[in-house]
Chain A
Amino acid sequence: MLSRVANSIYWMARYLERADCVARFIDVNTHLMLDLSLDQYSAQWYPLIATSGDDEDFNKRYTQADERAVIKFMTFDEKNPNSILSSIFRARENARTVREVIPVEMWEKINELYHLTQGHSRKRSVADLQDYYKEVRQMGHLFTGLMHNTMSRDMGWQFAHLGQMLERADKTARLLDVKYFLLLPRADDVDSAYDAVQWGAVLKSVNALEMYRQQFHTINYKDVTQFLLFSKAFPRSVLFCLEDASAALDMLTYDRTVENKATAEMAILCKTIHSSDASHIISAGLHEFIDIFQANLNLVDEAIYDTYFKT
């Protein structure tokens, strides 16, 4: 497969996953507003920015982190490279360059999502955009379904899957971090009913609530962390995504005798996760752990670029 094409497939899948995940981030607040009867003034919006990694850009261009500003920044802001709009635009640009290797329905779905986004009214309240966010998440499911049901499991699929899984691992970790920034009314509210509702919103935004309850039954800090980071069974947990990404990399490693930078970095990252658990991470600081995890994830991404895409 042409290196340029492999790179584009990888990023096409990553950007689509990113758009999907950003819609899910916003979903956390939608749930909170409904569950806790918060209005747009009492809801906390800055945590979404703080965890996105784009806080510097946001603070430079916006004066206030209210609903209007945060929604705009994360959804339709063309200058924010990680807004839903930018992600979909880039997913489509990448898809355009690989049309010949993806099923036509896949291209048409991405194209449809792009036109829906381009032509969408830029309403600013989260309530007005519910249908749109739902559409973005549905499109994510459709895209993944098409990928799994219509693409041969050759290199193209492996690169798409790799991109999707790494992006998802990154975003699930960040989502946990959102909770870190969400303030509780009182410091000793940890594991109170209020805390449980906030964690519930996090779980719902990744469709994890039912699966979580089957395993842990009640919502608490430690178990949610355990579930979203270490579940071997839940397909959006960080560990699950990394193992899938790892398997995809293995499939792409045609010559196993040569040391491959991408597989090596990936092994280091997996080892870090495997050798840890929720209690350990909580005592050392969840936020600090996620910071280190993300730095390692970037190293994997760079190694993949060097190994497969650089020409």
Chain B
Amino acid sequence: MTLETYKTDGFYDELFADDGVAHPSARPLVEQIDTLSRPELKRRQKLAEDILYQSGNTFNVYGDKKGTEKILPFDIIPRMVSAADWAKLERGIAQRITALNLFIQDIYNDQKILKDKVIPSELIFSSACYLKPCEGLSPPKGVWTHISGTDFVRDGDGEFYVLEDNLRCPSGISYVLENRAVLKRILPAAFHTMKVRPVSDYGDHLYRTLKHIAPAGREDPNIIVLTPGIYNSAYFEHAYLAQQMGVPLAQGSDLVVEDDIVYMRTTEGLQRVDVIYRRIDDEFIDPEVFRKESLLGIPGIMRAYKTGNVALANAPGTGIADDKAIYAYVPRIIKYYLGEEAISNNVPTYICEDDSDRAYVLENLDKLVIKAVNLSGGYGMLIGPKSTKAEQREFAQLIQAKPREYIAQPTLSLSRAPTLIGGGIEGRHVDFRPYSLYGEEIFTLPGGLTRVAIKKGSLVVNSSQGGGSKDTWVLEDEYNAAEGN
């Protein structure tokens, strides 16, 4: 199928420099797709969906009595990131994560950054993500965010911007690995023509990251993944990660704390647990400390954690650096702790708590994106240019009632990527979430989750809002256009 007629419509495109003209680095892939007929592309798309369906990474269709299950939409045309772009992203992420870890450590201990008035104290203490029980905490090896997934979008200028830092329990990594496994079967020829960096060793990296924080003296630590259970929407991922590392997948009811030590109930009696990659949110993890009604958590686990008898990844309390109002301060946080300018761009952010910012936001609701500071997944959001007057009035009231709860950002012109739609290929908006691990050093997996808004013109890529995903190819080195001549 020829891509000569592909239109970029004036958007920055991940594979095309201009209408029908591929970026030099994407040329081998585009040529490969050109050799496939329309029915053949559709056949491969169907095959990919069948493979994903059989793998069982499915969710139940709500309210369907027959138990129908669906996969998240998947698009077989991969998204690409050039080696140069990747190098910059990698440095930017490492810098952010280093600074944000210093920030969290400071916030729960000395609070120097508040005393130096770089960040207004009330912004911290008014945050729902500030956890008082974490005051005075110093996690093993000084690392709070062992696992994170930074959300980026590319604007019309071709630059990447950080949207969110996702320092709590970012999900989606299983899609990165699964999508790649599927694409190797669907488009094998394309892999031969270009150097795509592998992602399949994520499990090894994750295991080493977790082993790094095991309590001192535990030579052969017991590492586990903790899941809320099979009804959690990310259960597949929890099982997948346990499988990738070859460690037990436990639920809260499998664990018990005795004398500040965490044990799991095994067929051979109680066995000590040393490191927990927990996929349960902070507030549910210990009913003794946080939400008392939580049945998912393990009573006493925070005591064991504070004593240093068990390590938790991520540490509780990291949400404070994930608050969307704090986000606005990340460039200043980087400057404060590292004395460096931020490498990755922040999206300019208006904090509605600030009087002059709020006045500007209320004047410009039709131009801005409004976000609730503590919600994700595309909830609590207003996209100004696509909103009705009534929606704008509703958000104006919300903002005036609870200014701390909202921020605003200019509407970015999200980049697009060629996507198989019906029988043809059209541009659709995408974002990008690479995944990082902070163990002995910061490692970012060369790949990531590209989410795509399947609906024409839509800017919302969240799966809860009908978004799909693509495999993401980080290239080994720049394709030299002159080389073939």
List chain A positions with a Cβ less than 8 A from chain B. Answer: 1-6, 93, 96-97, 99-101, 104, 107-108, 111-112, 115, 118, 155, 159, 252, 254, 308-309, 311
Contact = CB atoms under 8 A, between A and B. Distances in A.
A6 B267 contact: yes
Interface stretch (B92-100, B148-156, B249-257): B249-257
A107 B235 CA distance: 15
B55 A1 contact: no
A111 B55 CA distance: 8
Interface in B263-293: 264-268
Interface string B229-251: 01000010001101100111111
B120 to A, nearest CB: 45
A101 B243 CA distance: 7
A155 to B, nearest CB: 6
Contact of B230 (A96, A101, A155): A96
B254 A2 contact: yes
A4 B55 contact: no
A311 B247 CA distance: 20
Main secondary structure of the interface of B (DSSP, over half): mixed
Nearest to A309: B267
A265 B254 CA distance: 27
A101 B55 CA distance: 15
27 contacts: A1-B248, A1-B268, A2-B250, A3-B265, A4-B254, A4-B265, A6-B266, A93-B230, A96-B56, A96-B235, A96-B239, A97-B230, A99-B56, A99-B239, A99-B240, A100-B225, A100-B246, A100-B248, A101-B243, A104-B55, A108-B56, A118-B66, A155-B267, A254-B268, A309-B267, A311-B253, A311-B254
A66 to B, nearest CB: 26
Given A1-B267, A4-B254, A155-B267, A100 B239 contact: yes
B54 interface: yes
B67 interface: yes
Contacts of A97: 230
A111 B56 CA distance: 7
Nearest to B249: A100
A296 to B, nearest CB: 23
A2 B249 CA distance: 9
A232 B253 CA distance: 42
Contacts of B246: 100
Given A118-B67, A308-B267, A5 B56 contact: no
Contacts of A93: 230
Interface string B54-84: 1110000000001100000000000000000
A93 B264 CA distance: 22
B54 A5 contact: no
Contacts of A159: 267
Contacts of A5: 248-249
Given A5-B248, A107-B56, A108-B56, A99 B243 contact: yes
Contacts of B253: 4, 311
Contact of B251 (A4, A115, A252): A4
Given A5-B248, A108-B56, A252 B267 contact: yes
Interface of B: 53-56, 66-67, 225, 230, 235, 239-240, 242-243, 246-251, 253-254, 264-268
Main secondary structure of the interface of A (DSSP, over half): helix
Contacts of A107: 56
A254 B267 CA distance: 10
Contacts of B56: 96, 99, 107-108, 111
Contacts of A112: 54
B266 A2 contact: yes
A165 to B, nearest CB: 18
B311 to A, nearest CB: 19
**Quick one: which of B56, B242, B243 has the most chain A CB within 10 A?**
B56
Contacts of A108: 54-56
Contacts of A111: 54-56
**Quick one: which of B67, B242, B249, B254 has the most chain A CB within 10 A?**
B249
Contacts of A101: 243, 248
A104 B177 CA distance: 14
A108 B253 CA distance: 27
Contacts of B254: 2-4, 311
Contact of B243 (A6, A100, A308): A100
Contacts of A311: 253-254, 265
A2 B222 CA distance: 12
A135 to B, nearest CB: 15
A108 B178 CA distance: 14
B88 to A, nearest CB: 36
A152 B88 CA distance: 44
A155 B266 CA distance: 11
CB-based closest 7 A-B pairs: A100-B242, A99-B239, A100-B243, A311-B265, A308-B267, A100-B249, A111-B56
Contacts of A115: 53-54
Contact of A2 (B230, B239, B265): B265
A118 B58 CA distance: 15
Contacts of B67: 118
A41 B248 CA distance: 53
A96 B242 CA distance: 13
B234 to A, nearest CB: 13
Contacts of A96: 56, 230, 235, 239
A254 B265 CA distance: 16
A6 B265 CA distance: 11
A167 B242 CA distance: 29
Given A1-B267, A3-B266, 13 more contacts: A1-B268, A2-B250, A2-B265, A2-B266, A4-B253, A4-B254, A96-B235, A100-B225, A100-B246, A100-B247, A101-B243, A115-B53, A159-B267
Contacts of B268: 1, 254
A307 to B, nearest CB: 8
A99 B268 CA distance: 21
Nearest to B251: A4
B351 to A, nearest CB: 43
B302 to A, nearest CB: 22
Given A2-B250, A3-B265, A3-B267, A104 B239 contact: no
**Quick one: which of B54, B242, B250 has the most chain A CB within 10 A?**
B54
Contacts of A254: 268
B238 to A, nearest CB: 8
Contacts of B265: 2-4, 311
A254 B250 CA distance: 22
Contacts of B239: 96, 99-100
A308 B240 CA distance: 25
